[in-house]
Amino acid sequence: MNRVTRREFLGAAGGATAAAALGVLAPAARAQPAGQGSLKGVTIRVLASANPDCVAFRDIVCKTFAEQTGATLQVDLFPYADNYNKAVLSFAGKQHDIYWVDQPWLRKFQKSDYLEPLDTFVHQYNIDLKMFFPNLVQIATIDKHLYALPAVAKPVNYGYRKDVLEAGGLKVPTTWADLLQVARKLNDPNNNRYGFLLRSDRGNPICWSWMPILRAFGGEIFDDKMKPIFNSPAGLASVEFLKELSNSSMPGPMTIDDVSNALANGVGMQTTVPVTIWPALDNPKNSKVVDKIDYADMPVGPSGKRSTMIGFAPYVVAKASPPAVKDAAFRLFKYFVSDEVQRKLMYGAAWYPAIPKLYQLPGLHRSMAAAGRALGYGAPPPLIPEAEEWFDITGTALQDVLFNGKPVKASIDQAATQTYDLLKSRGYYG
């Protein structure tokens, strides 16, 4: 079986790779563009994850910014699994100025007083926040202050093998019930073919697979008083459905790389995953399914609702950094979200912008249209400092149902109780 390695997957980012954990981008000798302003002698230290969008940020954005301004950009990339702990140690040691943080970490780091509010810089550099998807600005806003600037978006959307569906006379599913029926019809494990690929590794990933189903079934995670309600009848029905769907997936927990590899090798017929995996599947060096996958809106549930997960990869500024470096960091941010740079990233990297108008550009990857719509109707995960702990509690319960034979109600009720106890211990209920 061909395997799309992390290095090969990063090939979508303008040919860049994450071979080096440390990249120091020194200023070039050529003249700076008019009006750019010199940052010679200023070093901006960046800590980020070794994933495609961060590699593109390093090799396309930071490199050119260094050349144009005279700044030195030191970019440290680490595997995602190590990134949280690296960030915590770095904040404590004042080792970096800009951090890529996963969305669930944003509020935890803000609560720890690690982050610089960006409101003053937004006003000073005349950044129009209306240019971004409103729900992404909402995610970046805590207590009415902006702590991150949206740049790259990461919605979940639906992809399917259009050639296989057409050959079987099957219509593209528009409901979760339709999707399940298609998965059952196409599932053929004896011939190494699976009707659906379920991203199901512990914690955040399996929860991101389940939450669009939960909401499409009419459920929600918390009520307006932050009491857990995901064990409601609608919530339990959504987990029962997830269990049924998992019967048409490859056995065992699957990571996003597992899903990507199975798709690339023609093993999987459908999936719902973050959109950043799609462009690499059209690389003939690594994929057997070039031009065979198409994309559509997420299915509608029994409630009549369509839902998906939305998020973005926030870049934040360290509160402890010197004022001149903070200012330089925001100048980098302004350059980052400029129309010119975002277009370059869209055409040259596995990049889905946080700016609605850019999804109308011609000649984009065919997954872009559905991704742009998903950013309009999707919703974020719980925006609380305890998000990661909730993911662990609930992800464990979902895995117990899918892989360990535990009854749905007992498992999800236990997760709801553990969530309530966690939030009560943190003062949520008075």
Span 241-256, pLDDT tens digits: 999 999 999 999 999 9
| Packing angle, helices 387-403 and 408-425, rounded to 10 | 170
What is the gyration radius of the CA atoms in the chain, in angstroms? 22
CA distances from 127 to 32, 236, 346, 376, 402 (A): 23, 44, 20, 21, 46
**Quick check: 15 pLDDT over 60?**
no
Q: Are strands 43-49 and 98-100 parallel, antiparallel or unpaired?
A: parallel
**Quick check: 238 pLDDT over 60?**
yes
**pLDDT band at residue 23 using 50, 70 and 90 as cut-offs:** low
- What domains does the chain contain, in order, with CATH numbers? 6-153+311-377 (3.40.190.10), 156-309+386-425 (3.40.190.10)
pLDDT recorded at residue 276: 87
**pLDDT band at residue 11 using 50, 70 and 90 as cut-offs:** very low
**Quick check: 3 pLDDT over 50?**
no
The pLDDT tens digits for 108-155 are 999 999 999 999 999 999 999 999 999 999 999 999 999 998 888 989
**Quick check: 31 pLDDT over 70?**
no
Average pLDDT, stretch 350-357?
91
Count the Cβ atoms, other than its own, within 10 Å of residue 297: 16
pTM of the entire predicted model: 0.87
The pLDDT tens digits for 191-236 are 999 999 999 998 899 999 999 999 999 999 999 999 999 999 999 9
pLDDT recorded at residue 29: 38
What gap in Å lies between CA 283 and CA 123, rounded to an integer?
A: 42
Q: What are phi and psi of 291, to 5 degrees?
A: 65, 15
List 160's β-bridge partners, or say none: 270, 294
pLDDT recorded at residue 6: 34
Q: Which helix (H) or strand (E) holds 92?
A: helix 80-93
The length of the chain, given as a count of residues: 430
